[in-house]
Amino acid sequence: MSIDSQSLCLKNQIFNVPRLVNHYRGKVRDVYTLADGKLLMVASDRISAFDHVLPKAIPYKGQVLNQIAAYFLESTKDIVPNWFISSPDPNISLGHACEPLKVEMVVRGYLAGHAWRTYSSGERILCGIVMPDGLKQNDSFPTPIITPTTKASVGHDEDISSEQLLNQGIVTKKQWDILTDYTYKLYQRGQEMAKERGLILVDTKYEFGLINDEVYLMDEIHTPDSSRYFHLDGYEALQNANQPQKQLSKEFVREWLMANGFQGKDGQIMPHMPEEFVTEVSERYIELYELITGNKFVKADVSDVEKRIQLAINAVDE
């Protein structure tokens, strides 16, 4: 990878989109809503952790996320209708615009990440769910648990219980029951597909929205930005030896930041990202794409990534 890796990245470019109604910039994606009720989602190479966008982008990360999401959206549309129509470019998805439900459905099959940090502090209740005593890091839960968060437009997403969601009117009881059903079914499918590839889908999150009052699956699913994976081979041996699991997720980026004194708290300074680390992150994203899909990753032409994306957007309107 070139030492000037940032020149290869899709970072903060804004594109000219015909029939544009609204443009929203998320931490990682740019969403362009069109006049015909569709939207274009451009997956950038930006990377975020602890609700902060890191100063350097990761080459090919957006392509990885977009293509993994398309793969799983196509593979789960028998479970729940979803927003995805097509992918006119490796970094772009075209789909139906939904009215977002302001909740992220986080589902966890294992005691890892945020759940483990909560558990190790002595707490046993997460989002109103009681976690059993006697577990160690990365143990499986007796059954998967759903630990929803509010979907913040700005700032931190917050843990919330189902009771609070209903009391605050964020979703109705009927919607919550549908979201819960879809979440468990999607997670089960994701676990089955991961197992076929020698992986464990540890935890993940889903976002849903409404089209004519019908619940649709939105955004990405089962990507390394929204999910955590372990290798199936060796999992039991590592657990029995009290050794850390090899992860394929964004968690190692969070761990690197924490090791360098950053957790997104006031007064903390974002550490410098050396080129070697940028390269490692890119390689890990590509590795997960190939592992989870079984397909060889074909790097898109990034010699002029901005021009390539603009041409693809123009072609959508033709």
Q: What is the C-alpha to C-alpha distance for residues 147 and 97, in angstroms, rounded to an integer? A: 26
Q: What is the C-alpha to C-alpha distance for residues 194 and 294, in angstroms, rounded to an integer? A: 10
What is the pLDDT at residue 317?
Answer: 72
Where does the pLDDT of residue 155 fall: very low under 50, low under 70, confident under 90, or very high at 90 and above? low
CA 183 and chain centroid, separation? 14
The model's pTM: 0.89
Q: What is the C-alpha to C-alpha distance for residues 19 and 48, in angstroms, rounded to an integer? A: 30
Which residue intervals of the chain bear CATH 3.30.470.20? 100-249
Instruction: Please give the CATH topology (third level) of the domain spanning 100-249.
Output: D-amino Acid Aminotransferase; Chain A, domain 1 (3.30.470)
The predicted-structure confidence for 94-148, as pLDDT tens digits, reads as follows: 999 999 999 999 999 999 999 999 999 999 999 999 999 999 999 999 999 999 9
| DSSP run (H or E) holding 87 | strand 84-89
Q: What is the C-alpha to C-alpha distance for residues 294 and 68, in angstroms, rounded to an integer? A: 11
List, in sequence order, every residue forming a beta bridge with 96; answer none if it has no partner.
Answer: 38
Where does the pLDDT of residue 2 fall: very low under 50, low under 70, confident under 90, or very high at 90 and above? very low
For residue 1, is pLDDT > 60?
no
Which residue intervals of the chain bear CATH 3.30.200.20? 10-98+277-309
DSSP 10-71: --S-----TTEEEEEE-SSEEEEEETTSEEEEEE-S--EETTEE-SS--TTHHHHHHHHHHH
Instruction: Please give the CATH topology (third level) of the domain spanning 10-98+277-309.
Output: Phosphorylase Kinase; domain 1 (3.30.200)
Q: What is the C-alpha to C-alpha distance for residues 102 and 121, in angstroms, rounded to an integer? A: 28
